[in-house]
Amino acid sequence: MNDPLNREVVSDKGCIPHDLLKQQSKLNILYQSNIFKNFLKGVLNLKDIYPYSDTLSSINYNYYQKSQQLGWHFDNASFAITLMIQSSDKGGEFEYVSKGRNFSENYIDKSYIKDILDRKILPQKADVDSGTLILFYGRNYLHRVTPVESEKPRILVTLNYNEEEGTMLSENARLTFFGRIN
């Protein structure tokens, strides 16, 4: 009952999956660009990075309309890359803490997570404007997006890569995020 991992959070952002983007869109060009991939590999110290092999998950165009949010969570992927297209005028803030879990050691700090959920410890906020690129270890750092409070929606793209070739997002996750599996 008291386990903070059982606490329900609201996530109701909208998401446009990869297969609905134009092949020659700037986002696709950026995502496939060797200059960009080399930059990411250098900063994140990775040998190589690969797109998802399903048709939906590599680039996701997320939009948060008034009152929409993304609840506190850890990501499945080890690192996250986000590009802000348009920030909201009010609300829609990216809040995070740089701890909470150590995935490789199978450790989760429940009392710390409880204090964050109860607002006993206040998280950090990232000052994110249009064009801001964020590289983030979302698997170990608890994070969320607060409800948008303005008419102007918050629009943000996630650029999703894997360290192994041929990775697919699970069918369950695809159904949850996109409402279909292909």
Ligand X SMILES: O=C(O)CCC(=O)C(=O)O
Residue ranges that bind ligand X, judged by CB under 6 A: 62, 70, 75, 82, 94, 138, 143, 145, 156, 158
Q: Cβ closer to ligand X: 101 or 143?
A: 143
- If one asks whether residue 95 binds Fe ion (CB under 5 A), the answer comes out as no
In angstroms, give the least distance from the CB of 178 to Fe ion: 16
Which residue of 19, 75, 95, 149 would you call a contact of Fe ion, by CB under 5 A?
75
Q: 122: which DSSP letter?
A: P
Tokens at residue 23, please?
């092949």
Residue 137 partner contact from Fe ion, ligand X, none using kind-dependent CB cut-offs of 5 to 8 Å: none
In angstroms, give the least distance from the CB of 46 to ligand X: 19
Which stretches of 45-93 are assigned E, i.e. beta strand? 50-51, 59-64, 70-73, 80-86
Query: What radius of gyration, in Å, describes the C-alpha atoms of the chain?
Result: 16
Spatial separation of the C-alpha atoms in residues 58 and 45, rounded to whole Å: 20
CA 49 to chain centre: 17
Q: Cβ closer to Fe ion: 71 or 91?
A: 71
CB of 64 within 8 A of CB of 102? Answer: no
In angstroms, give the least distance from the CB of 1 to ligand X: 27
In angstroms, give the least distance from the CB of 2 to ligand X: 26
CB of 56 within 8 A of CB of 18? Answer: yes
Spatial separation of the C-alpha atoms in residues 59 and 63, rounded to whole Å: 13
Q: Cβ closer to Fe ion: 35 or 83?
A: 83
CB of 142 within 8 A of CB of 72? Answer: yes
In angstroms, give the least distance from the CB of 74 to ligand X: 9
Tokens at residue 167, please?
């990775």
**Footprint on residues 121-150 left by Fe ion (CB under 5 A):** 138
Q: Choose the stretch contacting Fe ion; rule: CB under 5 A; options: 59-67, 70-78, 95-103, 116-124.
A: 70-78
Interface contacts to Fe ion, rule CB under 5 A = 75, 138
